[in-house]
Amino acid sequence: MINYLLNFPSYILRKFRSKKFSYSQTGMDLLLSHIFKNQKRGFFIDVGCNHPVYNNNTYLLYKKGWRGMNIDLDEKSIDLFNLFRKHDYNQNIAVSSKFDDAELYYYHDKSPINTINKINADFQKVRHKEIKNIKTHTLDSIIALSPFNGKKIDFLTIDVEGQELEVLKGFDLKKYSPKIVVVEYLDLSLKKLEIINFNIQNVLSSPLYTYMINNNYVLVNWIHSDLVFVNNDNVS
């Protein structure tokens, strides 16, 4: 009993040190923190950022001193980023493969399922509140007009409710070659987007996977609906 009491403080300290704090929906930021454990500073781009803290893949990196660009088609979401992520560059823009007119299937302010992808909107169980006409820009053009034109990108994350491949087509992957790319993959052939229903063969035969492989990336992990790709030049 005496030994237990003497060792109790060190036990509590170990428990505290080993506790992991995650802000991502499924712990993606913990994986990223491990991947970049030897990199104290870095630059990220988050397309479809939605919320500056909650269910966010980059907030843990931000807390560690990283800085980046957050982009979302919802103005209210970007208002939150300007409030809580003042050291980041935050833009209210819809991103796609080209400059174009688009229909925004709008559910409500800051909704994570607001989208310009009709197929994805039709898949949702809830009906959108209204359809708004908006303009789309390419990620390349947004970077070119930002203070970060030509800057090396360490990490790119894209979560735009079915529009991920179109965002990638408007971004020069070979020019910027981010070390890590996390892309949401929604398999709408499934009745429910639940882990137990996922099929790796569907991922491997998807246009998104093919596009990334053809651009010098390899799939290294899959967490819930997020695919984790590593640039082949960074694989040791």
The pLDDT tens digits of the residues spanning 140-164 come to 999 999 999 989 999 999 999 889 9
Question: How is residue 52 written in tokens?
Answer: 């500056």
Burial class (CB in 10 A: 0-12, 13-18, 19+), 25: middle
Give the pLDDT confidence score for residue 23 in this predicted structure.
Answer: 93
Spatial CB neighbours of 31, under 8 Å, sequence gap ≥ 6: 221, 223, 228
Asked if residue 9 is part of any domain, the answer here is: no
Handedness of CA 39, 33, 141, 173 (dihedral sign): positive
Asked if residue 16 is part of any domain, the answer here is: no
Asked if residue 11 is part of any domain, the answer here is: no
Give the pLDDT confidence score for residue 11 in this predicted structure.
Answer: 45
Give the pLDDT confidence score for residue 20 in this predicted structure.
Answer: 64
What domain range includes position 196? 21-234
Asked if residue 1 is part of any domain, the answer here is: no
pTM score, two decimals? 0.88
Query: How many folded domains does the chain comprise?
Result: 1
Q: Which amino acid is at 216?
A: N
C-alpha closest to that of 127 among 140, 113, 138, 139: 113
Give the pLDDT confidence score for residue 21 in this predicted structure.
Answer: 84
What's the rounded Cα separation, in Å, for the pair 148 and 152?
Answer: 9
Cβ–Cβ < 8 Å for 222, 204: no
Asked if residue 10 is part of any domain, the answer here is: no
CATH number at residue 88: 3.40.50.150
Asked if residue 6 is part of any domain, the answer here is: no
Asked if residue 5 is part of any domain, the answer here is: no
Cβ–Cβ < 8 Å for 156, 181: yes
Give the pLDDT confidence score for residue 2 in this predicted structure.
Answer: 56
Which residue pairs, CB below 8 angstroms and at least 24 apart, start in 29-32? 29/56, 29/57, 29/58, 29/59, 29/60, 29/61, 30/60, 31/221, 31/223, 31/228, 32/57, 32/60, 32/61, 32/155, 32/180, 32/182
pLDDT digits (tens, 9 = 90+) for 78-112: 999 999 999 999 999 999 999 999 998 989 888 88
**Average pLDDT taken over every residue of the chain:** 89
Matching residue, tokens 């708004």: 132
Spatial CB neighbours of 28, under 8 Å, sequence gap ≥ 6: 57, 182, 223, 226, 228
Residues of the chain with pLDDT under 50: 4-6, 8, 11-18
Give the pLDDT confidence score for residue 18 in this predicted structure.
Answer: 44
Asked if residue 185 is part of any domain, the answer here is: yes
